Amino acid sequence: MNGTRVLLGGLAAGLVLLASGIALGHGVLGHDYIRAFASHRAHPVSTATVIENTAVRLAYGFLVAFLYAALRPRFGAGPRTAVVAALFVWVAAYVPRFLELHEFGILNGWRLGVSVPWSLAEVLLASLLAGSIYRERAPGGSTR
């Protein structure tokens, strides 16, 4: 596995996820969603909250890049493998979060209807980007 390319792909994927999450939460879902989300926190929203959310989004990017690299020998290089990696991350990380937010009454109605496909699209895009960046090391040390 080419660790440098996993890190580069993960960083790129994480930045896509971060930008998309900000656009969805602050742009599309709006102030009512932000207020509802903040009202269910044990502590007030602070700089630490922003850092935490940023770290989680970046971690998802690194995870999807790592999964792509790990699945590549079995599924081959290309978009199919990136889609499989994205689906793993979406089902394992995003779907439980949606269930939690829905249960707490934070994400309901049209906001849930927009968030589910949006999140699937963002993680697919991030995974495809990470997959396009990833290259295996050739036996001589170069990437291929």
pLDDT digit string, tens, across residues 12-69: 999 999 999 999 988 998 888 887 777 776 667 778 888 988 999 999 999 999 999 9
- Domain extent for 70: 3-133
Question: Which residues have C-beta within 8 Å of that of residue 110, sequence separation ≥ 6?
Answer: none
Asked if pLDDT for residue 140 goes beyond 90, the answer is no
Widest CA span in the chain: 56
Which pTM does this prediction carry?
0.86
Contact 71, 85 (CB under 8 A): yes
Confidence (pLDDT) at 30: 84
Contact 17, 60 (CB under 8 A): yes
Average pLDDT over the chain, rounded to an integer = 90
Residue 79 lies in a domain: yes
What tokens were used for 62? 């690194």
Residue 64 lies in a domain: yes
The helix (H) or strand (E) run that includes residue 98 is: helix 95-103
Tell which residue, 52, 71, 75, has the closest CA to residue 9. Answer: 71
Residue 143 lies in a domain: no
Q: Indicate the number of domains in the chain.
A: 1
Residue 138 lies in a domain: no
The DSSP call for residue 45 is -
